[in-house]
């Protein structure tokens, strides 16, 4: 359930885009009444999906706050990024801004992970996981670097798909492709870490 909750904005984006594509006339009428300017009908699905994603991200933060009275910093950052780039897409009717949003977040994740470890000597991956597993110090460093590099590659791949393929292909990749890549990478990391776990022999 947590995975589905984390993917809530992406799922809402995908669903809104597909539904708007099924009802193109209604979608075009909605955006032309809502946004100023001459908007091509082909842009209606991405504009509606962008707005839905901004609302879904805010809703996600609201649910977390009501449940825990605390919101992770990265969720706030995600809301800021989607609001800025999504807002630019709505204001300028340009899908390029929202297409850059995943890349901006992935590269920001990479920068935070790498910078925190290299500059401030704070391994964030270790801080998140050391309560569940024990690993040698060099393995924590490799794990942090591996995730940093993975996010850099994933961000570049997102832009490649956005500019090389159709908008609908990018929307599909955003949900299924990125999610699958994260899952496969996490699984591979789990298999790698299983060889380096430090067993707790305490009774």
Q: What is the pLDDT of residue 194?
A: 80
The phi, psi pair for 115, rounded to 5°, reads -65, -40
Q: Please report which confidence band the pLDDT of residue 1 belongs to, taking 50, 70 and 90 as the band edges.
A: low
Mean pLDDT of 29-44: 89
Average pLDDT score over the chain: 90
Q: Is the dihedral of CA 127, 133, 135, 140 positive or negative?
A: negative
Mean pLDDT of 98-126: 89
Q: Is the dihedral of CA 143, 1, 62, 7 positive or negative?
A: positive
Domain map of the chain by residue range?
1-93, 95-203
How do residues 149-166 score in pLDDT, each as one tens digit? 999 999 999 999 999 999
Q: What is the pLDDT of residue 203?
A: 43
Q: Half-sphere exposure of residue 31, counting CA atoms within 13 Å on the CB side?
A: 29
How do residues 64-99 score in pLDDT, each as one tens digit? 999 988 998 888 999 999 999 999 999 999 999 999
Q: What is the pLDDT of residue 177?
A: 95
Place of tokens 């597993």: 133
């Amino acid at each position: 359930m947590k995975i589905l909750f984390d993917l809530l904005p992406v799922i809402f984006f995908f669903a809104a885009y597909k539904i708007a594509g099924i009802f193109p006339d209604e979608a075009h009428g909605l955006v032309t009444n809502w946004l100023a300017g001459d908007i091509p009908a082909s842009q209606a699905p991405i504009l509606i999906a962008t707005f839905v994603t901004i609302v879904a991200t805010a809703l996600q933060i609201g649910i977390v706050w009501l449940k825990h009275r605390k919101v992770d910093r990265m969720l706030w950052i995600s809301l800021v990024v989607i609001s800025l780039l999504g807002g630019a897409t709505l204001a300028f009717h340009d899908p390029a801004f929202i297409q850059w949003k995943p890349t901006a977040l992935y590269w920001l994740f990479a920068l935070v992970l790498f910078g925190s470890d290299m500059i401030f000597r704070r391994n964030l991956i270790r801080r998140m996981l050391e309560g569940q597993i024990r690993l040698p110090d060099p393995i924590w460093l490799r794990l942090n670097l591996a995730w940093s590099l993975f996010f850099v590659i994933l961000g570049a791949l997102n832009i490649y798909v956005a500019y090389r393929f159709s908008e609908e292909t990018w929307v599909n990749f955003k949900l299924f492709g990125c999610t699958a890549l994260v899952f496969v990478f996490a699984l591979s990391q789990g298999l790698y870490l299983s060889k380096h776990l430090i067993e707790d022999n305490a009774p």
